[in-house]
Structure 1
Amino acid sequence: MAEISFFRAGRPVDLEYSVEKPLNREPPVEELVKSFLTPPEVAYDRNHGPLPHLDASTHTLTITGLKAPVTLSIADLSTKFPQHSVLAALQCAGNRRHTMRTKVREVDGLDWNDGAVCNASWEGPLLKDVLKSVGVTEDEAGLKSLGLWDEEKRRIGGHVWFESDITKAQDDELYGVSVDLKRCLEEDKKVILALKMNSSPLTVAHGFPLRIVIPGILGARWTKWLTHLRISPTESPNFYQQRDYKILPPHVRSKPAALKYWPLIPALQHLPVNSIVATPSSNSTIPTTHPLIVSGYALPSGDDGPVVNVDISLDGGRYWKQADIIFPSASERASDPQKYKWCWAIWRCEVDISELRGAWKAYGDGSRRGRILSRARDMEGNVQDDTVPWNFRGVAYNAYDHELKNKSTTTID
């Protein structure tokens, strides 16, 4: 139920939750891996302010940084441009932060377990096509006229800011971020002004009526309830671009110590290769009457997908056993690797109970206890290992050696 009403452009807007208490939740991972495409009601929620209930018929996107501003309606975006779709995983930079906090050292941030990720099909016009319609193309002369050409590197320079000014955010007057303009103008990067998720209109929680989708880039850049897009020679000055979502040096262990480093560290864009064991769950008891089914998800690093291999280990990483990637299948990945470049993989492995008996420690009560690890590899050869440097914000964690779900203590009857 809406908690607050306010006026924007003379019209009332109902809000759910608040700046002080935004909606942040994740599903159980056992639920998450049941489907290749995550239903919106299952997908995690990450917010820095309230959820606005907007009217698509009156919502607009204003593009600035041009010779003159341009405003487009949702109808414009849905009817005046070719519609494209892209499969892409959306992952919070703090996914698995709980493990870094509890197994390495305390961190600063929401206590995410393994469920701050989802996988979906996103649909809408390519940002490249929209930018072209307002005069922003890969043409060198045109980019120079807008101050968007990098003369030293002889390539496209500049940035695109993505902002939502519907309400205040927790740490700034509005939510704003940016990515390189070059990425936005490359057709094969599939940056989309998304109107739909899994073939249906976006839900309120996932940005209705408009969000930006940037495959291969962490979720913090996928601004929801998008209202403004600015073409600029510089990065967004917003808090969420400059003083959050960065990997600070390991010796930075407090907010005061971080102040010196925020302007020196580049904004995090790509997340590393990753995987988790979803089933069996931690501290569960495994019956001995049938084989054990181990399953989970795996994610590629940035643009280096798809995931091509997942292994599991029952003995702390000494021996690895190959799992089966169920979705997308090997034939699907082989026939169209570009289609699955940014999505997750759902994997499964059948383990005979005798394998566990041989790998796990026996206890006096007759049980055996041990841990299950998973390790993913993507198409470009990026592989998980057991070492990830600690960082104060607890972002981009992908080690397999500390994760409670991956090294779950499980008992065999």
Structure 2
Amino acid sequence: MSERIHGEEPLNREPEIMKLSSAFITEDGYDRNHCPQPATEQLDPRTHRVHIDGCVRNPLALSIANLRSDFPQHEIVCALQCAGNRRHDMRTVVKEVQGIDWSDGAVMNCRWRGPLLKDILEKADIIDLDAGDDAHVAFASFQVECQDDSWYGASIPLSRALDLDKEVILALERNEKPLSVRHGYPVRIIAPGLAGARAVKWLDRITVQKKESQNHYMQRDYKALPPQATDSASAEKYWSVTPAVQEMPVNSVISSPRTGDTVKRDNYGKVECYGYALPSGDGGPVVKVEVSTDGGHTWTKARLEHHDEEGKWTWKFWRAKIIVPPGQPRVIFSRATDASGQTQPDLPPWNLRGVCYNGYGEARDLTIQ
């Protein structure tokens, strides 16, 4: 299977799954955009500024040089995942949904480096503000007009932004190189454990405020609406009362074999399968992956591969050899469990936008020889 191009303008694509699963650190990451990419000349690091305003005593206008030299640099290795990753599975296993038909390649696991958001907010000196769920730190990019709004924005709870253990950064580098324009050059937000929609690219404003971002993509997208919202009309009354997606759920994917494959057993009647697994929000790391060949009645523990840079926020690669009787159609399932005890369900609740799908990883309609 080749890479999947879901749109050229704006660019939305995911890499081929076998290539994606071949390296712990991702070089070819997915692309998710709601607008055209800004022109390179529009993003001059000498003139670009990130403005910090809102409920602060000391508003700032930080250059890229400021972000590099005025604050300690923090490196994290973490997975970044589109909230719509595996939407195709919800669409085909449960029922039709709205949105780009993402398969399971809308994820990447990278090294990110830049100053901590906490340090920047402390320099801006937040005005006495309740750091409860209602107080948010909003991120914005006004570089290019979007499909459904004139700018792109998102926000996260202020409590998370100020928590050193959450490691939210303004990323200047990806995999030890300056960000590419595709991935947010010259600076973007990286909030480990949260949906990629909150990791605003081409960042130019950070606002401390008493409520979450009012941008379209925070208020009317990236929400797991209740099942009663069955179409755009019936969804109207639920947008304002449904929380925006923040933390992503525990998940796993079977990279090989793939649905529809013909697979040869080895001399012991076994089939090798492998894939990746992701922890829930703050619940990492992944501690167990299991596979089933009988519809989830019994499970066999997979071997978790070790990598020196793995941690709370990273994905895990897993591999298993399992006995599968010959014939077709056969199905293999996978399920992951993380350190917090969160385990994949067989099927999560359906939602109109098809976000946060984490039903069992699957390879269906297999022919076993």
For Structure 1 versus Structure 2, the TM-score category normalised by the shorter chain is over 0.9
Paired amino acid for 1:392: L
- 8 Å CA contact retained: 2:248, 2:281: yes
Tell me what 1:3 maps to: none
Q: What does residue 324 of structure 2 align with?
A: 356
1:79 aligns to 2:69 (yes or no): yes
Q: What does residue 357 of structure 2 align with?
A: 397
Residue-by-residue CA offset, 1:362-395 (whole Å, 9 max, x unaligned) = 4xxxxx5411110100001111121211101101
1:46 to 18, 32, 36: 32
Residue 309 of structure 1 and its aligned partner are, at CA, apart by 0.3
Are positions 1:233 and 2:210 aligned together?
Answer: yes
- Does structure 2 conserve the Cα–Cα contact (< 8 Å) formed by 1:36 and 1:327? no
- Tell me the number of residue pairs that the alignment of Structure 1 and Structure 2 aligns: 357
Residues 160 and 179 of structure 1 are in contact (CA less than 8 Å); yes or no, is this contact kept in structure 2? Answer: yes
Using the TM superposition, give the Cα deviation of residue 67 of structure 1 relative to its aligned residue in structure 2, in angstroms. 3.9
Counterpart residue number, 2:253: 276
Structure 2 counterparts to residues 9-408 of structure 1, below 5 A: 21-39=9-27, 42-52=28-38, 53=40, 54-65=43-54, 66-67=56-57, 69-136=59-126, 143-144=127-128, 148-149=129-130, 158-289=135-266, 292-328=271-307, 340-351=311-322, 355-357=323-325, 362=327, 368-400=328-360, 406-408=362-364
Please report how far the alpha carbon of residue 408 of structure 1 lies from its aligned counterpart in structure 2 after TM superposition. 2.3
| Aligned equivalent of 2:4 | none
Asked if the contact 1:20–1:49 (Cα under 8 Å) also holds between the matched residues in 2, the reply is no
Q: Deviations along 1:255-276, whole A, 9 cap, x unmatched?
A: 1211111111111101111001
CA contact (8 A) 1:328 1:340 kept: no
* Deviation readout 1:160-198 (Å, 9 max, x if unpaired): 110000011111110011111111111111000000111
Return closer, same or farther for 1:197/1:118 CA change in 2, 3 Å cut-off. Answer: same
Q: After TM superposition, give the deviation of residue 289 of structure 1 in Å.
A: 4.6
Q: In the alignment, is the contact (CA less than 8 A) between 2:134 and 2:211 conserved in 1?
A: no
- Aligned partners of 2:26 and 2:109 also within 8 Å: yes
- Measure how far apart 1:68 and its partner are: 5.3
3-state SS of 1:397 partner: coil
Equivalents in 2 of 1:57, 1:388: separation in Å? 47
The one-letter code sitting in structure 2 at the alignment partner of 1:118 is M
Q: Which residue of 1 aligns with 2:3?
A: none
Q: Is the 8 A contact 1:157 1:182 kept in 2?
A: no
| Alpha-carbon distance between aligned partners in 2 of 1:316 and 1:232, rounded to the nearest angstrom | 48
Q: Deviations over 1:266-305 (max 9, x none)?
A: 1110111100100112222222455532110001111000
Deviation readout 1:63-94 (Å, 9 max, x if unpaired) = 11134531000000001111011111111111
Q: Deviations over 1:135-182 (max 9, x none)?
A: 13xxxxxx42xxx226xxxx5862111000001111111001111111
Alpha-carbon deviation of 1:20?
9.2
Q: Give deviations 1:239-267, integer Å, cap 9, x for gaps.
A: 01111111111011111211111111111
* Distance in 1 separating the partners of 2:118 and 2:174: 20
Deviation per residue, 1:327-351 (Å, 9 max, x gap): 347xx8xxxxxx7111111111123
2:317 maps to amino acid: I
Do 2:260 and 2:363's aligned partners in 1 also have CA atoms closer than 8 Å?
no
Secondary structure of the residue aligned to 1:258 is: helix
Structure 2 distance, partners of 1:47, 1:268, is 17
Identical counterparts, % of pairs: 48
Q: Distance in 2 between matches of 1:288 and 1:107?
A: 36
Distance in 2 between residues matched to 1:193 and 1:258, nearest whole Å: 34
CA distance in 2, matches of 1:375, 1:381: 12
Alpha-carbon distance between aligned partners in 2 of 1:86 and 1:130, rounded to the nearest angstrom = 17
Name the CA distance, whole Å, in 1 between partners of 2:344 and 2:8: 37
What CA deviation, in whole Å up to 9, does each residue of 1:78-111 have, x standing for no partner?
Answer: 0111101111111111111111112211111111
For 2:163 and 2:90, the matched residues in 1 are separated by 35
Question: Structure 2: which 5+ residue stretches go unaligned?
Answer: 1-6
Asked if the contact 1:245–1:267 (Cα under 8 Å) also holds between the matched residues in 2, the reply is: yes
Q: What secondary structure sits across from 2:224 in the alignment?
A: coil
Paired residues of 2:57 and 2:125 also in contact (CA < 8 A): no
The structure that has the greater radius of gyration is 1
- Give the direction of change, closer, same or farther, for the CA distance of 1:220–1:22 in structure 2 (3 Å limit): same
What SS does structure 2 have at the residue aligned with 1:371?
Answer: strand
